[in-house]
Structure 1
Amino acid sequence: MASIDNRKEEKRILSLVYGIGIIAFSIIGLYNNDSIAYLIGIFSVVLIGYGHFIISRYFPDGDKYLFVLAAFLAEMGLVMLYRINPYYAIRQITWLTVGVAVFILIVVLFPDMEGIKDFKYYYLAAAIGLLVLTQVFGSDIRGSKNWINLGFIGFQPSEFSKVFLILYLASELHDFKDRKGLIMPAAAVLVSLIFLVLQKDLGSALIFFGISITMVYIATPKIKYVLSAVVLFLIGGAGSYFVFSHVRNRVNIWINPWKDPNGAGYQVVQSLFAIAWGGLMGTGLNLGYPKYIPEVHTDFIFAIVCEEFGLLGGFAVIIAYFLLVYRGMRTAIYSEDNFTRLVAVGISTMIGAQVFVIIGGVIKLIPLTGITLPLMSYGGSSFVINFIALGILQKISENTK
């Protein structure tokens, strides 16, 4: 009976996703006399429906809400990107296709998740190696050296490094016995953070740290290890403030963006104006002013959601993220072994921390760090890696109690 109720609820949420896609893209198409908008809307809905059909038809035991909630967020992001600039949405629909395909392939082809815990040194090598490659070959973009440009395509190695770090920490900590077992994981995290600080990618450093302390606490569980790590991280953050002018600028903008509203603080100020202008109900789709916010398609997409859909739309997005993280943590609770439990916790923390960091920066709760909003912002590497992570979560949920 519960399974039937779940399927009905999934279909209700999917109907909402389909409605958002068709109605929103129809509004954009009518408003701009743009026939391509209708095609993007129809294709995205068909793609999401096909993905849900495959995992429901052939793998009925897992938590389908993971895919459904991800689909809602991806569809909202696609609508806003097309509204900002159709070029971004057309590129993003390609990444959505790749993401859904990879999600399905992981669920279909991955072996039992417990069987991959013996490759911890490969995970460690991949996690650190990607950061080393960035340090050597990375390009400096907006103050952070966190991209590798291959000419025809660019990607952020730190996005992939996060997942490899999660797999490594889960492999290392699943049979934790005493504090000696923390030496290697602590060294791996420290080396990762050093590279991220050198690359001035402090947003990713904060997420790496959040993932690490959460997994350590779940594996040990001893609050003293977490508190020690927090103290060291704060010391490192304070040191970065005095060493890097880039970090000082971000903190100073956070403290008072109105000091230079047309210069250094322009991005944050325009974001706050957009959120305030949207009010509770929003200006309406296609009636906002995204062109006034620099990098609105990546760092500040949440601001234009709040402007055109209002605070109610912003809260809807936040609730969807909360439910996605909750379903991930729920998967961890019902996992039958420590390895998959830690992987599920790490992935859920990765998504939750990234959402907190970027939305916190957009609303001036914390200093802006310049990372993307998962599943909504424009960006191939971030988009695909989140679907990979959710595919792993989906696979874990197939084998829960």
Structure 2
Amino acid sequence: MTQSNSFLGFVHRRRRGAELFLLILALAVGIGAYAAVGLGVDGEVPTNIIGYGGWLALLTITSHVVVRFFAPYADPVLLPVVAALNGLGLAAIYRLDLADGTSFAQKQLVWMSVGVALFIGTLVLLRDHRILQRFTYTCGLAAIVLLLMPMMPLIGVTKNGARIWINLGPVGMQPGEVAKVLLVIAFAGYLVVHRDALALAGRRILFVDLPRGRDLGPILAMWLLSLAILVFQRDLGSSLLFFGIFLTMLYVATERPGWLVVGGSLFAVGALLGWRAFSHVQVRVDAWLDPFDDFYGSGNQIGESLFGMAWGGMLGRGLGQGSPFRIPFAESDFIVGALGEELGLTGLMAVIVLYGLIVERGLRTALVCRDAFGKLVASGLAVVLALQVFVVIGGVTKLIPLTGLTTPFLSYGGSSLVANWVIIALLLRISDQARRPVPDLSADTEASSSSEDTQVVSLR
């Protein structure tokens, strides 16, 4: 066997046994953290540990079985890493529930169940990711409708200064979380068709080939859409996320650094306009520059988070031993700060490594995918998670201004959790398609040629 064949043989291994082993470790992390929280706060293991652990194990093992039967060649690392993060997030939310008398962890477990159900449904019903390319403009239109829904009367709701929520009866959701998945599919379908035109070079400035002026329409449209989200919904995080997704996918599709120059310039102009024109952006920038100047006002959230992480130090106070409940909205916006206090810098770095693994496996899937649409969808979904994690952790650690996004799989929030489980299902579907052995047509070709030779002989 040649070296290339050996490499292909490695790629085409199913690795479901490795996935199961890693899932057992992930369950140990999630259930162990849940037990450690009970021991740290109450001095005893939670009384519902068997029911909680059993349900968590049922969700993860069921997901593994579905992957084994419906996506046998899928990446073996993604599902265990996501299970570990989700389990750790549930434990962190449960720790805050014990301090505040809330029940967010129970609700989050319900949302995890919904997310796993949609994860399973995506793998079972979507057998080939290339089918999604047919719905390019449908997905784009649906995404725009979802983004406009919070502005509608009766259903649109303003929370914490941002109008990004809708209420459908007793259920509230953020349509933007679903819109980000649909936008990736729409962007991928559009760029596959138009990438040749968008890749053409225009004027050359300082060793960089800028795009042609006639091709600036799509990126200007996304820039204006991002500004509209910032102006009307007062949501800095989603504005940055959507524009960053499109810009990154445009660069991946065309391989032209000039698009990064144009996009970076537009982002800088938009950020400056947002800071000068909108008071809510100015408040966040001021809190970022000096949170202790108004510690009991706009700087309280990030200030308490910084104090907590400093108190946690290198190894943390231990689960249940810190005071993360002092941070406002710690269960959602600032769960990274809560984990930093009780797990320390070491635990926080481990969490970042887990996110890095998800992004790396997503980009690896894009590299080995055989079709252009799959490459763009996989890279776009990986970029969604990478940008969201960077923006959230950057805001919590005072690297950049706060944006209000949730931390994938860790933060409390049903819309985000469900959408992210669907993202993982799509990545697994694409990786299964990419890692499958290429059908061997040589035997059919030889049989066909042999049949033709036989026919020729018979004619003679």
**Match of residue 71 from structure 1:** 83
Q: Measure, in 2, the Cα distance between the counterparts of 1:345 and 1:13.
A: 24
**Match of residue 196 from structure 1:** 229
**Match of residue 205 from structure 1:** 239
**Match of residue 21 from structure 1:** 30
RMSD: 1.9
Task: Check conservation: 1:52, 1:68, Cα contact below 8 A.
Answer: no
Matches within 5 A, 1:380-399: 380-399=414-433
**Match of residue 116 from structure 2:** 100
SS at match of 1:259: coil
**TM-superposition CA deviations, 1:355-375 (whole Å, max 9, x none):** 000000000000011110001
SS at match of 2:255: coil
- 1:243–1:37 distance in 2 versus 1, CA, 3 Å: farther
Q: Aligned pair 1:36/2:48, yes or no?
A: yes
Shift of 1:23: 2.2
Q: Aligned pair 1:81/2:115, yes or no?
A: no
Shift of 1:6: 4.1
TM-score, scaled to structure 1:
0.95
Task: Check conservation: 2:139, 2:183, Cα contact below 8 A.
Answer: yes
**TM-superposition CA deviations, 1:88-142 (whole Å, max 9, x none):** 1100111111111111111111141112212222111111111122222422211
Matches within 5 A, 1:124-163: 124-137=140-153, 138-163=156-181
Which has the larger displacement, 370-379 or 225-234? 225-234
Matches within 5 A, 1:263-302: 263-302=297-336
Identity of aligned residues (%): 39
Q: Aligned pair 1:321/2:321, yes or no?
A: no
Which has the larger displacement, 181-190 or 7-16? 181-190
- 1:58–1:167 distance in 2 versus 1, CA, 3 Å: closer
The structure that has the greater radius of gyration is: 2
Q: Measure, in 1, the Cα distance between the counterparts of 2:401 and 2:384.
A: 19
Shift of 1:59: 2.5
- 1:387–1:346 distance in 2 versus 1, CA, 3 Å: same
**Match of residue 56 from structure 1:** 68
**TM-superposition CA deviations, 1:141-166 (whole Å, max 9, x none):** 11111111223011111111111111
Task: Check conservation: 2:227, 2:270, Cα contact below 8 A.
Answer: no
**TM-superposition CA deviations, 1:343-387 (whole Å, max 9, x none):** 011100000000000000000000011110001100000000001
* Residue type of the alignment partner of 1:212: F
* Residue type of the alignment partner of 2:369: S
Task: Check conservation: 1:270, 1:293, Cα contact below 8 A.
Answer: yes
Q: 1:170 aligns with which of 188, 211, 234?
A: 188
- 1:128–1:183 distance in 2 versus 1, CA, 3 Å: farther
**TM-superposition CA deviations, 1:274-314 (whole Å, max 9, x none):** 11111111111111112200000001101111111111110
Shift of 1:10: 2.8
Aligned length: 401
Task: Check conservation: 1:131, 1:192, Cα contact below 8 A.
Answer: no
Q: Measure, in 1, the Cα distance between the counterparts of 2:84 and 2:218.
A: 35
Task: Check conservation: 1:21, 1:45, Cα contact below 8 A.
Answer: no
**TM-superposition CA deviations, 1:190-218 (whole Å, max 9, x none):** 34313311211110111111111110001
Which has the larger displacement, 344-353 or 48-57? 48-57
Which has the larger displacement, 88-97 or 28-37? 28-37
Q: Measure, in 1, the Cα distance between the counterparts of 2:185 and 2:397.
A: 32
Q: Aligned pair 1:242/2:276, yes or no?
A: yes
Q: 2:254 aligns with which of 201, 220, 224?
A: 220
Q: Aligned pair 1:114/2:130, yes or no?
A: yes
Task: Check conservation: 2:30, 2:86, Cα contact below 8 A.
Answer: no
Task: Check conservation: 1:132, 1:195, Cα contact below 8 A.
Answer: no
Q: Aligned pair 1:371/2:386, yes or no?
A: no
- 1:182–1:81 distance in 2 versus 1, CA, 3 Å: farther
**Structure 2: gaps spanning 5 or more residues:** 1-8, 199-211, 436-460
Q: Measure, in 1, the Cα distance between the counterparts of 2:424 and 2:227.
A: 28
* Residue type of the alignment partner of 1:192: L
Which has the larger displacement, 304-313 or 355-364? 304-313
Task: Check conservation: 1:21, 1:42, Cα contact below 8 A.
Answer: no
SS at match of 2:166: strand
* Residue type of the alignment partner of 1:142: N
TM-score, scaled to structure 2:
0.83
SS at match of 1:344: helix
Q: Measure, in 1, the Cα distance between the counterparts of 2:379 and 2:59.
A: 28
Task: Check conservation: 2:219, 2:263, Cα contact below 8 A.
Answer: no
